[in-house]
Structure 1
Amino acid sequence: MPQLEVDGASLTYDDEGPRDGQGVPLAFVHGWTANRHRWDHQVAHFAEARRVVRLDLRGHGESSGAGAGSIDALAKDVLALLEHLEIERFVIIGHSMGGMIAQTITLAHPERVERMVLVNSIGKMAYNRGRVWLMAASRLVPFKLFVAANTRRAFAPGYPRDEVRGHIRAADTPREVVMTLYGAMRAFDVLDRVTEIRTPTLMVHGYHDIQLPLAEMLRMAKAYPDAVIRVLDAGHQLPVEKPAELTGALAHFITGRG
């Protein structure tokens, strides 16, 4: 896999699809503790007709480097990759923390973002009793138990247990990266600025998401001047829980029909 050296990290990325494809390139950004393969279904679909880029954020997947101290720093990594690939204008699609990165990039460079998609993402970290308990437990229990508990919470009730266990076994983001980026997400807050975003935006959320609750997304959506909202019967992990439905929603929006 190709890699790009950026500020002490080696970022692994994929650059697929025809360079002269239909429309501007798509840039997919995964969430906290995930990796670029969270988007496998979506990339396989879109790369048939247009250029698609995705990366492992620093410290995740096959990318090296310690966890960034802020969402701004992760946004700079994504922009560095796009500049390396000579991609000036793009559609950005971010899941969870990746949506925070997408909003950061869109606020800083609105002229470069043709459309934005936020999947299970919000403009400010939401707190509830479950999350407070889980993060407190992270300091008291073995890290693997914390990862397992956090992963289970990410899926809707009834999602196949074997598949959840598979995601738990595959989790390999180092503790330092996980906890550093949790701090970065806690500090993230653009709610007062989203009215500045004039970029056409799609917000897709899982009805059963308890990681970043639907109510928080709807609270943010009220401030967006130009947003389309889709709610699917899933939890926090829409790209893998409802891959075909998510891909369909993206395709409808990206082509300008919604």
Structure 2
Amino acid sequence: MPQLDVDGARLTYDDEGPRDGVGAPLVFVHGWTADRHRWDHQTEHFSTGRRVIRLDLRGHGESGGAGSPTVEALAADVRALLDHLGVDRCVLIGHSMGGMIAQTIALSHPERVERLVLVNSISRMTYSRGRGLLMAVSTLVPFKLFVAANIQRAFAPGHPREEIRACVEASAATPREVVMTCYGAMRAFDVLDRVGEIRVPTLLVHGYHDIQLPVAQMLRMAKAYPDALVRIVDAGHELPLEKPAELTAVLDAFLAPKE
């Protein structure tokens, strides 16, 4: 389990697959209160033929250095890891907050990104009435209740309760300071007016039942991208957990060499 010290944080990461595999390395970035294992299915599939890198963001999973991370600081951590691993250019794949981090890197360092994949992510946070109410009371309710309310509504109707419960417990293990700071950072995230600058092929994959970041918000973002392919999957916000094989198939088609 390799680790890298970056600006007061010890980042845990995986670097798998052949260095001389076909195509640029795939770099997977997880979302809020998650960890690198969100990408287990994709890592197992793609690392047989190409290099795959994934990390636990600072304060998440097995990475230390909680602090008060911003989207920009988390993006800087990812770039530091790529520098450490000698990766000049990659396919950047981010889920939810990870997609915000990926867009930040694509805008600030476009030379590092060959292709971009955003899974259940958006470019500007817009709150529904229910989401706005949840944000308003977030500092008034017990921390674990706040986390549980957010995670439970992330899944499509009918998802197994035991899997949701395990996800809630894992998310609640993330340090409170990290959870709340990242929540605020996502609330303030807004690059919608700039995504037209991202000129690389981009895949937007979204769950039809996502009420955290609704499909309508993603489609608004898609219109602003100059080269975006949209795929809608029968899932909620936690697409990597709900439909891992289907997500892998969509990624496989997008990444396949063009004849």
User: Which residue of 1 is the match for residue 119 of structure 2?
Assistant: 119
Displacement of 1:257 after TM fit? 4.7
The Cα offsets for residues 194-247 of structure 1, whole Å up to 9 and x where unpaired, read as: 111101000000001011111000001001110000000000000010101100
Aligned letter for 1:222? K
Q: 1:89·1:112 contact (CA, 8 Å) conserved in 2?
A: yes
Q: Distance in 1 between matches of 2:191 and 2:83?
A: 24
How many residue pairs were aligned? Answer: 258
Once the two structures are superposed, what CA deviation does each residue of 1:119-163 show, in whole Å capped at 9, x if it has no partner?
000001121111122223322221111111111011001111111
Hey, what's the Cα distance between the residues in 2 that align with 1:14 and 1:119? Answer: 20
What is the alpha-carbon distance in structure 1 between the residues aligned to residue 141 and residue 75 of structure 2?
A: 31
Partner of 1:45: 45
Aligned counterpart, 2:87: 87
Q: Which residue of 2 aligns with 1:137?
A: 137
CA deviation profile, 1:7-38 (whole Å, cap 9, x unmatched): 10000000001111111100000001100001
Whether the 8 Å contact between 1:126 and 1:213 is mirrored in structure 2 is no
Distance 2:70 2:170 in 1: 25
Q: What percent of counterpart residues are identical?
A: 73
Helix, strand or coil at the partner of 1:91: strand
**1:204-215 counterparts in 2 under 5 A?**
204-215=205-216
Q: Within 5 Å, which residues of 2 pair with 1:240-251?
A: 240-251=241-252
1:162-241 to 2 correspondences below 5 Å: 162-171=162-171, 172-241=173-242
The TM-score, its normalising length taken from structure 1, stands at 0.97
In structure 2, the partner of 1:56 is: 56
Matched, 1:6 2:6: yes
Which secondary structure does the structure 1 equivalent of 2:224 belong to? coil
Q: Within 1, Cα distance between the matches of 2:225 and 2:127?
A: 22
Is residue 95–residue 120 contact of structure 1 (8 Å, CA) maintained in 2?
yes
Name the residue aligned to 1:252: 253
Match of 2:105 in 1: 105
Once the two structures are TM-superposed, the CA of residue 68 in structure 1 deviates from its matched residue by 4.1
How much has 1:66 moved relative to structure 2? 2.0
CA contact (8 A) 1:202 1:253 kept: yes
Check the 8 A contact 1:204/1:230 in 2, yes or no. Answer: yes
**Consecutive unaligned residues in structure 2, runs of 5 or more:** none
Mean CA deviation greater in 83-92 or 138-147: 138-147
CA separation of 1:180 and 1:148: change in aligned 2, threshold 3 A:
same
Point out the more displaced range, 146-155 or 166-175: 166-175
Q: Distance in 1 between matches of 2:111 and 2:170?
A: 38
For 1:90 and 1:103, the matched residues in 2 are separated by 13
TM superposition score normalised by structure 2: 0.97
